[in-house]
């Protein structure tokens, strides 16, 4: 499970994994929905394009869930980083040093992942049909 009293490799990769899954859900929601509706109505010039409200809602829910999980990861990583009261570059061969390193690296990955999730979700804000 991702919730852990100690930082480890699983907690380290949780946020990027959430980012990857969010990308997968967003991509398949939009592509799958459009492929199905476009196949039903072979679109001619000037005709209305299928509206993708359902796919946008799926992406919205996936984004809220992903950001929430990453927020929890961030809080946990902050705790791991601060628990040993050790500062970078974390090069001492001690338990606190390792916890500090893993916690800090996880914290940075959480930051990267939340930016990634938001960037992946942004097209759904601006694009409202299957064109």
Q: Is 16 in the site for other proteins (CB under 8 A)?
A: no
Nearer to other proteins, 36 or 131 (CB): 131
Q: Is 122 in the site for other proteins (CB under 8 A)?
A: yes
Question: N- to C-terminal Cα distance for the chain?
Answer: 40
**Minimum distance from CB of 96 to other proteins (Å)?**
21
Count residues near other proteins (CB under 8 A).
Answer: 15
Cα separation, 65 vs 117, whole angstroms = 11
Three-class secondary structure assignment of 50-64: CECHHHHHHHHHHHH
Cα separation, 120 vs 112, whole angstroms = 12
The mark string for 73-112 relative to other proteins (x by CB under 8 A, - otherwise) is --------------------------------------x-
Cα separation, 120 vs 94, whole angstroms = 38
Q: Which residues bind other proteins (CB under 8 A)?
A: 45-46, 49, 111, 115, 118-119, 122-123, 125-129, 131
């Amino acid at each position: 499970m991702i919730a852990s009293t100690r930082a480890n490799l699983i907690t380290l990769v949780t946020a990027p994994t959430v980012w990857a899954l969010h990308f997968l859900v967003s991509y398949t929601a939009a592509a799958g929905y459009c492929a199905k509706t476009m196949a039903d109505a072979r679109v001619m010039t000037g005709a209305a394009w299928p509206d993708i409200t359902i796919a946008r809602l799926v992406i919205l829910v996936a984004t809220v869930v992903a950001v929430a999980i990453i927020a929890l990861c961030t809080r946990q990583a902050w705790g791991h980083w601060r628990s040993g009261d050790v500062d970078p570059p974390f090069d001492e061969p001690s338990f606190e040093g390792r916890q500090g390193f893993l916690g800090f690296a996880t914290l940075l990955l959480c930051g990267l992942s939340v930016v990634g999730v938001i960037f992946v979700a942004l097209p759904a804000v601006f694009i409202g049909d299957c064109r």
